[in-house]
Every structure is written in structure tokens, then in C-alpha cells.
Chain A
Amino acid sequence: MEQALSLYELNNLVHRVIELNMGDEYWIHAEISELRVNRHCYLEFAQKNADGNGLTAKARGQIWASSWPMIKLFFEKTTGQALSVGMEVLVKVQVTFHELYGYSLNVIDIDPTYTLGDITRKRKEIIDQLRAEGVENMNKELQLPRLLQRIAIISAAGAAGYGDFCNQLTNNRRGLVFSPKLFPATMQGNDVERTVIAALNKIAQEADNWDAVVIIRGGGATTDLSGFDTLALAENVAQFPLPVITGIGHERDDTIIDMISHTRVKTPTAAAEFIIRHQEEELDHVEDLADRLSKATGNILTTEKTRLQMAATRLPSLYANFKLREEARLERTLTHISHAIEQQIRDEGGKTDILERRLALYAQTLISRNSNRLEVLENKIKNADPERILQMGFTLTRSNGKVVKDASKLKPGDRIDTTFINGTLTSIVQ
């Protein structure tokens, strides 16, 4: 039987083999599955199956305190995010083996652009999801109220950014009035999503009291902004009933909520400036309207005065023209009337002649007709003359002056007068 090795001897052997054969540095990409900072940064790297379930590889790793601050600063400055669990990283490692602690990877460098690509991909996934939900542009489509005064601010209480924002608003150039109120939230790290959503909910409950929401973060140059890149927060901001203005402040790229908020500015001061300018434009608009009104009124009055003056100047000549015209008209009318009368007289004269002739004719007819009748009557009268009858031998008998036509009416002794053609005899009836 060969001599048995102690565990240390075996591990030492492995140590030496690795050191001898794997002295190079290797760039590897993996996901961070665990992370703990205790002066040094302790990590666990993992590689998932192709289908995403289960692991195909796992290794412990560490970044020693000597290089950790530098790597951290470099990474956060570039990505705007802190190294965290679930993040895909590209790191340069040395493979080490320690007799007591075993196999581990010693991280000596990191390539943040790789992670940036991963962050971008994740953001794209979130944006795609928001688009699929139909909420991507909802906050952008809200109209900023013309009166942008009552500002609900989500920020960390006491942070420099919040102070800057309030100072800027208060000391604006034109005495514009604003009413800001702080709804405190944690602006970095893991609590961002939870606390910002809580603040948003609080504002939403009294949405009528606010014109807009401002989410600002100020201070430290490099901080973990990954909390602003979550789907839940993005959904809340996108569908928020008031316009959201973000001034999260990262020099390299925008977070998800910068992308979907109504308006995105770089810093809290810029957010205040944006709001002030909006109100200045409104004040300018009001003043411009006042100006235009005054000018337009001036123009109207000038025009009216000119009209009046022109009327006053033109009136006499206008009247003269009018008088001439009316006189001419009168003259024409008179001529017309007199012509008409003459014509009528001529017409009427013709008519009289005809009547006269008709009248004469009529009179003649009437006369001749009546003279005929006269002759007939004359004959009749002639025939009825008692003298003529007496001549024919008839007599006329009267008693007491009355003509006797009936002999029986006479009695003997009555005195009667008998008239002849040539005289009257009185006799007594026997």
C-alpha cells in the first residue's frame, strides 16, 4: 500500500497543479448568484442551463479589499448600478486554490460595458413589456397643466438635490409662486422600488391637490440606480394620473422611469428650471395677450376716429352731390308728369269728340222718333174733337151741367140743354 497523503498534502498538490498550469488570467462571463461585502467583496458566480432552470456551473469568488473600492467606483460610474445578485458580469479572474478554502476565483478586473449591454437588454425587455401592456407612452401623453404650481416631490428628505430644487423654485426671477411638498422615499439601493411606489400611491390618493410629480435624486456622483429600472415602478409611473418629471441624475444613460416619465431632465436643479420656465412662458403668454388686446383696441379706436373724421370732411360735398342729384331727379319727374298729363289730355280729347258725335246722332234719332209719335197723337186728338162730332150731326145733352149719357136717368119735367154745332137749346122732358 502506498503511503497515504494527508488532506493538506492532497490539497497542496491540487494547489500547485493549478498554480502551475493555470497561472494566466481569464476573462469569464457569469451571473452573480450571491454577493456579500465585508471589507472584501465575496461573490458566487453561476451559469444557468440553456433552458434557464438549474445550474451547469458554479464557483466562489472574491474581490479583495485592496481593489474593491476601485472596481466598485469604475463599475457604478459606468453602469449607474451597483454590482448585485442576478447581474451578468464580465470579469477577469485568476484561478486560485487554497488548501483550507478550496477553489475560488480572484476577481482582478471588470468590464462594465458588458453589464451595461445586459442592463440595456433588461431595460428593453421592460420597455417591450410596457409597450405590450399599452402603457409605454401614457404619462408622456398627459398634458402639463398650464398652471404648474402644486408640485409633489419624491426625494430623500434632507438630500442636497431636494434642497437645491426647493431653493431654485423659491428664488425664481419673476416672483412666480410654487407650492412644493416632499413625499420622502429612498433614492438608492434595494428600497427604491418599494418606497417610491408607496410615495406615488400617497400622492395618487390626493391627486386633485397636485399639478405634477417630480422624482429627484441628488448628491453622490455614483450610486446604484438599478432600483429605478424595475417593471413595477415603470408601470406605476407610466400609468400615474399626473405628469411625472424625473431628475434622477445619471450622466451616462437614462433609467427606465426616465424613459417613460412625462419629462426627463438631468438634475434636480434642471427639474426646477423646467417648471419655472413653463410658468414663465405662461406669464409671458398672459402678458402678450394683454399687450395684443391693448394694441388691437388702440387700432380699433384709431380706425373709428379716422372714419369719423373722414365722414365729417366728406359730408358737405356728399350733401351737395346729393342735393344736385335729388334736384335733377325732381326735375325729371316733373317733366315726366307734365308729358303724361298732356298725353292724357290728348287721349281724353279724342274720346270727347266721339261722344259728341254719338250724342248728336242719338238726339236726332230721339227727335224723329218723337215727332212721328206726335203726328199719330195729333190725328187721334183730331178724331176725338167734339166739334167734329157735332158737325157730323150729333148733339151733346147736359142736365144741370152734366153730360147725359143714359136717357132713363131723365124724368119728365127735367130741364135739359142740348148743344148743336151752332148753338144750345134748352128744353123740358115730357
Chain B
Amino acid sequence: MKEKDKITYEQAIRRIEEITRKVESGELDIDSLADNLKEAKELINLCKTKLTKVETDIQKILDL
């Protein structure tokens, strides 16, 4: 999960888009579906958090 913490918003949203496309086009087999959905859910939460919650690094800049 360390890697996930460093992923940028742009990277995250692109990955979600890619997974959505794969799921919609039926490209994913049922075995890898669960893993991909889990990843997408984590990334969606990450994106929502970035849009709606103050992140510590932003707060630091403001406190300067």
C-alpha cells in the first residue's frame, strides 16, 4: 500500500478509467474481476479523499 499512497490523482483516475473500460468491455475474466474491483474501489476512495479532504502536505504549505 506504500506505492498506492504515492500515486498521483491523475494516475489514479487513469487507472480507474482503465479498469472501468475493461470491466465494461468484458475483457476481464471472473477470476481477475475481484482483484481489479478491489483496486478500483481503493483508488476511487483515494480520489474522493483528494477532492474533499485537506491533505497534510497542502496544509503544510498553507501554514508556511
Q: A149-B58, A300-B26 are in contact. Are A293 and B37 (CB under 8 A)?
A: yes
- Residues of A within 8 Å of B16, CB to CB, are 286, 289, 293
By the criterion CB–CB under 8 Å, are A296 and B24 in contact?
A: yes
0/1 string, B6-48, CB within 8 A of A gives 1: 0001100100110110011010101001000100110010011
A146 touches B13 (CB 8 A): yes
> Do B50 and A147 have beta carbons less than 8 Å apart?
yes
Choose the segment among A169-177, A245-253, A360-368, A385-393 that binds chain B (4+ C-beta atoms closer than 8 Å): A169-177
Which of the listed residues A145, A146, A176 has the most CB atoms from chain B within 10 Å of its own CB?
Answer: A146
For A283, list chain B residues within 8 Å (CB): 48, 51-52
Given A149-B58, A300-B33, CB of A175 within 8 Å of CB of B23: no
> A269: shortest Cβ distance to chain B, in Å?
21
**Pair B48/A285 contact, Cβ less than 8 Å:** no
Q: Are B51 and A181 in contact (CB under 8 A)?
A: no
Closest to B61 in A: A209
State in angstroms the CA–CA spacing of A290 and B40 once bound together.
Answer: 8
B40 shortest CB reach to chain A, Å? 6
State the interface size on chain B (CB cutoff 8 A).
Answer: 28
B54: interface (CB < 8 Å): yes
Cβ contact within 8 Å between A297 and B37? yes
1/0 per position for A269-290, CB-CB distance to B under 8 A? Answer: 0000000000100110110011
A290 and B20 CA atoms in complex are apart in Å by 8
- Whether, in the assembled complex, A48 has its beta carbon less than 8 Å from a beta carbon of chain B, the answer is no
Residue among B20, B26, B37, B52 making CB contact with A175, cutoff 8 Å = B52
Contact A179 B44 (CB under 8 A): no
Q: Are A145 and B17 in contact (CB under 8 A)?
A: no
Residues of the A chain whose Cβ atoms lie less than 8 Å from the Cβ of B33: 297, 300
B residues near A290, Cβ cutoff 8 Å? 40-41, 44
Interchain CB contact (< 8 A) of A292 among B20, B28, B54: B20
Q: Which of A120-153 contact B (CB under 8 A)?
A: 145-147, 149-150
Beta-carbon nearest neighbor of A295 in chain B = B24
Complex CA gap A51/B47 in Å reads 62
Tell yes or no: A304 within 8 A of B by CB: yes
Chain B residue nearest to A286 (CB atoms) is B47
Q: Is the CB of B62 within 8 A of A181?
A: yes
Q: Please, how many angstroms separate the alpha-carbon atoms of A174 and B23 in the complex?
A: 29
CA distance A6 to B31 in the complex (A): 114
Contacting pair B23 A177 (CB below 8 A): no
Check A176 against B51 for contact (C-beta < 8 Å). Answer: yes
**Quick check: A300 and B62 within 8 Å, CB to CB?**
no
Task: Tell me which of A174, A209, A289, A296 contacts B17 (CB under 8 A).
Answer: A289
A177 to B58, CA, bound (A): 10
How long is the Cα–Cα vector from A300 to B22 in the complex, in angstroms? 12
The smallest C-beta distance from A182 to any residue of chain B, in angstroms, reads 11
Complex Cα spacing A290 to B17, Å: 10
A147 (CB) vs chain B CBs: closest residue: B9
Instruction: Name the contact of B51 in the complex, choosing from A177, A209, A293, A297 (C-beta under 8 A).
Output: A177
| B23-A297 in contact (CB<8A) | yes
CA distance A356 to B23 in the complex (A): 80
Flag if A279 contacts B61 (CB, 8 Å): no
CA distance A109 to B59 in the complex (A): 55
Q: Contacts A147-B9, A304-B30 given; indicate if A179 touches B61 (C-beta within 8 A).
A: yes
CA distance A300 to B25 in the complex (A): 10
Roughly how many angstroms separate A112 CA and B61 CA in the complex, as a whole number?
Answer: 46
User: CA of A146 to CA of B16 in the docked complex: distance in angstroms?
Assistant: 14
A292–B61 CB distance below 8 A:
no
Bound state CA distance, A400 and B35, in angstroms? 121
* Residue in chain A with minimal CB distance to B9: A147
B2 within 8 A of partner (CB) = no
A181 to B28 CA separation, bound complex (whole angstroms): 45
Within 8 A of B (CB), among A172-190: 174-177, 179, 181
A146 to B41, CA, bound (A): 19
Q: How far is the CA of A104 from the CA of B30 in the complex (A)?
A: 92
Please, could you name 14 A-B residue pairs with CB atoms under 8 Å apart, sorted by A?
A: A145-B10, A175-B52, A177-B53, A179-B59, A209-B61, A282-B13, A286-B13, A286-B44, A289-B20, A289-B44, A290-B41, A293-B19, A293-B20, A297-B33
- Name A's B-contacting residues (CB within 8 A): 145-147, 149-150, 174-177, 179, 181, 209, 279, 282-283, 285-286, 289-290, 292-293, 296-297, 300, 304
Q: A290-B41, A293-B16, A296-B20 are in contact. List 19 more A-B contacts (CB 8 A).
A: A149-B58, A174-B52, A177-B51, A177-B53, A179-B54, A179-B59, A179-B61, A181-B62, A283-B51, A283-B52, A286-B13, A286-B16, A289-B17, A289-B20, A290-B44, A292-B24, A293-B44, A297-B37, A300-B26
